[in-house]
Amino acid sequence: MLRMTASGEGWSVATLGDLGDGYGFRKVREALGVEAFGINAIVMPPGVETGFHWHDEQDEVYFVHAGRIEMTFGDGMTEKLAAGTFVHVRAPVQRKIKNVGDTDAIYVIVGGKGGYVGRDGRAPEGTQRVTRGVSPEGSDPSFL
Q: What does 26-69 look like in DSSP terms, one character per residue?
A: E-HHHHHT--SSEEEEEEE-TT-BPPPB--SS-EEEEEEEESEE
CA–CA gap between residue 20 and residue 14 (Å, rounded): 10
Q: Is residue 44 part of a domain?
A: yes
Q: Is residue 15 part of a domain?
A: yes
CA–CA gap between residue 110 and residue 138 (Å, rounded): 32
Please give the tally of structural domains in the chain: 1
Q: Is residue 101 part of a domain?
A: yes
- Residue 141: predicted pLDDT: 53
Q: Is residue 135 part of a domain?
A: no
- 10-residue mean pLDDT profile of the chain (144 residues): values are 76 93 93 93 97 96 98 98 98 98 98 85 78 60 53
Closest-CA residue to 62 (of 95, 30, 32): 95
Q: What is the CATH number of the domain that holds 11?
A: 2.60.120.10
Residue type, 5: T
Q: Is residue 134 part of a domain?
A: no
> Residue 12: which domain range?
6-116
Q: Is residue 17 part of a domain?
A: yes
Q: Is residue 131 part of a domain?
A: no
Q: Is residue 39 part of a domain?
A: yes
